[in-house]
C-alpha cells in the first residue's frame, strides 16, 4: 500500500491502478539475489492499516519468525513523505534510525518509481530497502525461511496444493483484494458499478466452497486464507461505507461471517489486527473521497469474539503443527470488546 503526498487527494479523481512492485529482489535460502536468509539481518516495515502488509504480519506470527525478522510499525496516517515512524520515541525507527520509510527506498535507488509502499523488508546493516514485493514476501516466508521457522510451524504453501492455491488467490486478488479499491477509487458510475459487482460476485462464489469446507484449500490454513482474511476483516469497518461496497455487510452473510470469525479467533490472525489503525488510515488519508477526514464510530466490533461453530466442518488449522505462542508484549493489540 502506497501513501502520502498528492496521491491522497487524487483518490476518487483518477482511475485506480495498482502499481507493480518495483523492488522485486528475493530473500532466499541460497541468497541468489544477493540477500540470503539470515536471522536478525532484515527488518519488516508495515502499517497495521494495510491489508497487503497485514499478510506479512499473519505469516510472520504463524511461522514463528518474530526472532528472525524484527518489526517496525508505521503511523497509519501519513504526511507528504508517506509512511513515517512517529509512533516511535523521537519519531525515528529505533533500529534503522530513520524518520521515513522513504529514506530506505532512497538508499537503495534515488528517484525510484512507484512511490513508497508497505510491506517492505529493509537490510539493517546497509539501511537499504530489499523488497516491497507484497505478492512474494509471504510466499518466501513460507518456503525460503524454513530453517528459521518455529517448531510446529504450519505449511502455508504446501507443494501438492500450490496450483489450486494459486488459482484461488488469483481470483480473490482480482475481484476482492484489489476489487474493493477499484470500487472505492472509481471515477465514474460505470467503473464503480462494475468493480462493486465483481467484488460481491466473487464473494458469493466463495460461499459454496466455504459451506462444505472450513478453509479455502485443503483442510488446513494456507496462504489463500491469509490473503482473503486481510480484506474480509476490513470489510464492514471501511470497505462497506468508505469504498461503497455496500450491497451487504459481511455480518449479513452467515458463511463468510463465520469463516472470518474463525480465522480472527485463530492465534496469528486477530492478534495482528488493529481496527483503530485501519479506520484512521482509510478515513483520514483518503481525502479525495472523504474530505472531512471524519472517522466513523461504528461498526460494533464485539461480534468478532462470538462463537463461529466452524469446527463442525472438521479441518486442522495448523495441520500437523501447533498454534503460535503468545504475542510479544510490545506487539500486543487490544482485541475488540476489550480496552
Give catalytic residues, as residue numbers.
Answer: 50, 181
Q: Are strands 42-46 and 120-123 parallel, antiparallel or unpaired?
A: antiparallel
CB 122 within 8 A of CB 88: no
- Kindly state the cell numbers that stand for 84: 513515517
Q: How many beta carbons lie within 10 A of that of residue 124, not counting itself?
A: 14
Question: How do 70-73 and 42-46 pair as beta strands?
Answer: parallel
Give the SS3 label for residue 79: strand
Phi and psi at 239, nearest 5°, equal -75, -35
- Edge-first strand order for the sheet with 42-46 is 70-73, 42-46, 120-123, 128-131
DSSP code string of 185-244: T-SSHHHHHHHHHHHHHHHHHHHHHHHH-SSSSTTS--HHHHHHHHHHTTIIIIITTTT-
Distance of alpha carbon 265 from alpha carbon 133, whole angstroms: 28
Amino acid at each position: 500500500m502506497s501513501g502520502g503526498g498528492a496521491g491522497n487527494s487524487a483518490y476518487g479523481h483518477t482511475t485506480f491502478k495498482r502499481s507493480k512492485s518495483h523492488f522485486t529482489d528475493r530473500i532466499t535460502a541460497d541468497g541468489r539475489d544477493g540477500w540470503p536468509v539470515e536471522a536478525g539481518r532484515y527488518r519488516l516495515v508495515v502499517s497495521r492499516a494495510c491489508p497487503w502488509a497485514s499478510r506479512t504480519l499473519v505469516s510472520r506470527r504463524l511461522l514463528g519468525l518474530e526472532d528472525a525478522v524484527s518489526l517496525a510499525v508505521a503511523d497509519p496516517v501519513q504526511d507528504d513523505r508517506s509512511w513515517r515512524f512517529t509512533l516511535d520515541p523521537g519519531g525515528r525507527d529505533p533500529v534503522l534510525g530513520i524518520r521515513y520509510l522513504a529514506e530506505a527506498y532512497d538508499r537503495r535507488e534515488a528517484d525510484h518509481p512507484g512511490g513508497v509502499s508497505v510491506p517492505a523488508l529493509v537490510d539493517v546493516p546497509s539501511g537499504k530497502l530489499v523488497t516491497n514485493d507484497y505478492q512474494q514476501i509471504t510466499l518466501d516466508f513460507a518456503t525460503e525461511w524454513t530453517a528459521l521457522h518455529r517448531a510446529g510451524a504450519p505449511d502455508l504453501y504446501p507443494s501438492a496444493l500450490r496450483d489450486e492455491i494459486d488459482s484461488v488467490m488469483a481470483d480473490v486478488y482480482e475481484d476482492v483484494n484489489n476489487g474493493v479499491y477499484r470500487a472505492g477509487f472509481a471515477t465514474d458510475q460505470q467503473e464503480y458499478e462494475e468493480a462493486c459487482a465483481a467484488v460481491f460476485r466473487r464473494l458469493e462464489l466463495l460461499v459454496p466452497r466455504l459451506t462444505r469446507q472450513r478453509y479455502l484449500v485443503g483442510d488446513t490454513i494456507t496462504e489463500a486464507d491469509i490473503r482473503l482474511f486481510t480484506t474480509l476483516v476490513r470489510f464492514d469497518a471501511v470497505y462497506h461505507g468508505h469504498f461503497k461496497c455496500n450491497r451487504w455487510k459481511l455480518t449479513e452473510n452467515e458463511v463468510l461471517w463465520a469463516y472470518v470469525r474463525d480465522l480472527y479467533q485463530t492465534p496469528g490472525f486477530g492478534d495482528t489486527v488493529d481496527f483503530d489503525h485501519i479506520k484512521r488510515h482509510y478515513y483520514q488519508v483518503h481525502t479525495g473521497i472523504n474530505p472531512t477526514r471524519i472517522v466513523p464510530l461504528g461498526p460494533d466490533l464485539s461480534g468478532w469474539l462470538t462463537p463461529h461453530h466452524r469446527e463442525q466442518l472438521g479441518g486442522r488449522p495448523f495441520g500437523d503443527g501447533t498454534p503460535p505462542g503468545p504475542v510479544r508484549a510490545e506487539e500486543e493489540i487490544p482485541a475488540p470488546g476489550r480496552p
